[in-house]
Amino acid sequence: MNNRLHHPLWLHIPSVLALAAFTWVCASTPLPQRGPIHFALDGKADNWGSPLTVVVLVFALSVLFIGLAILICELWAREEQRKTFNPLSPIDDLVVGAMVAMGIEYLRLVADGGDTFPIPWLTVMVYAGTATIVAVVLEHLRPYRHFAHQLDRIDTHHIHDEVEHRVGNGQPLFYWESQNPRWMTVILVLTSVAMFAGSLASLPSDERWVSILLLVIGTLMLSLAGGIRTTVTRQEIAVRFGTPGFRVLHLKTSDVSDVELHEFSPLRDFGGYGIRQNREMKAYYLQGRKGVLLTTTEGKQHLLGSDSPDRLAAVVQAVTGVR
């Protein structure tokens, strides 16, 4: 894959400036060694500790969102066939702007010795709103850069013939492949760690349900780090997700009426990656722009993402007898 960035990094200037403003306020605000670090729903402090804990959390989450936005914008730019507005582009500016506004008001509260933290809606709207508006303008100014995709077909006749021979002779058959990109693993692990840290920070508070909820969400997200695995046997086609292998698709080979290669744009056509659905089909993928589209006898369509879509299509065609 071409490692050169196709989306300009200056799109993220608003979120970076917001984070810089938070860093400047942190450096210029004297913080006590101990202060409120968690608040109940009514805004009253229910847990105390070092304010640096909150500072580090805001900074780390901001960096995480900026990095995630860079990844999303790069994927969008590589999918474009012409200049289109990317509605996901301002997401880091909106989120980071809101977190920075909350963080700055928190620093003021701690410096003044307060223990009640009502949500500062006006400050949030100023920071997040300004950053988002500027981000939208920058997205409109973004130039289009063509990305040349490598979608070369490979010869799969020998694979089809071998599988067809096995099926015809009643020999056992088990084909499997997986999609597990590193970027997804990194995001899931970092997000899970943040959830676990939040769970520990919320543990001493009176609202234990928050700690339990964060722990459950973190554990669930970590379990998804195993990626997507597709298996094909004589009797069935299955897709499993995550380390535990949650089965998200199960089709009998006898129920498949059509098999074809299908090119798609993950963000434009489905709005992201993972298990997705639009008006026409349900999709299972974590990377790539080309998959195998299965149509059932009932007319339902399922798009299977694959790093080797030609090979997967040849195997499914041989097993189902569909050309």
Contact (Cβ atoms closer than 8 angstroms) between residue 143 and residue 8 = yes
Instruction: Please give the pLDDT value at position 149.
Output: 59
Q: What angle do CA 316, 322, 323 make, to 5 degrees?
A: 100
- pLDDT tens sequence across 29-74: 988 888 898 888 788 888 888 888 888 889 988 998 898 899 888 8
Three-state secondary-structure class, residue 125: helix
Angle (CA) 196-202-204 rounded to 5° is: 125
Task: Assess contact for 283 and 291: CB atoms under 8 A.
Answer: yes
Closest by CA to 296, choosing from 264, 314, 319, 320, is 320
User: 3-class SS at 272?
Assistant: coil
Q: How many residues does the chain have?
A: 323
Q: Report the distance separating Cα 195 and Cα 106, nearest Å.
A: 20
Dihedral sign of CA atoms 278, 226, 87, 142 in order = negative
Residues 147 and 139: their CA atoms lie apart, in Å, by 18
Q: In angstroms, rounded to a whole number, what is the distance separating the alpha carbons of residues 224 and 65?
A: 19
pLDDT of residue 47: 82
Percent of the chain at pLDDT exceeding 90: 44
Closest CA relative to residue 16, chosen from 97, 120, 91: 97
Which of 317, 316, 313, 310 is CA-nearest to residue 154?
A: 310
Q: Tell me the sheet residues that pair with 18.
A: none
54, 228, 318 from 201: Cα distances, Å = 10, 32, 55
96 contacts 15 by C-beta, under 8 angstroms: yes
Under 8 Å between Cβ of 257 and 301: no
Give the DSSP H/E element, type plus range, for residue 122.
helix 121-141
Residues 47 and 201 sit within 8 Å (Cβ to Cβ): yes
Cα 247 from chain centre: 20
Residues in CB range of 119: below 8 A, 6 or more apart = 43, 102
pLDDT for res 206? 60
User: What is the SS3 assignment for 45?
Assistant: strand
b/e map 217-228, b = 16+ CB within 10 Å: bbeebbbbbbbb
Sheet holding 290-296, edge to edge: 256-263, 290-296, 301-305, 282-285, 274-277
Helix or strand run (H / E) with residue 163: helix 157-168
* Model pLDDT, residue 66: 93
Q: Is the pTM of this model over 0.85?
A: no
> Contact, 310 vs 304, CB < 8 A?
no
Residues of the chain with pLDDT under 70: 1-3, 148-158, 160, 165, 167, 202, 204-207
> What is the DSSP-derived secondary structure letter of residue 254?
G
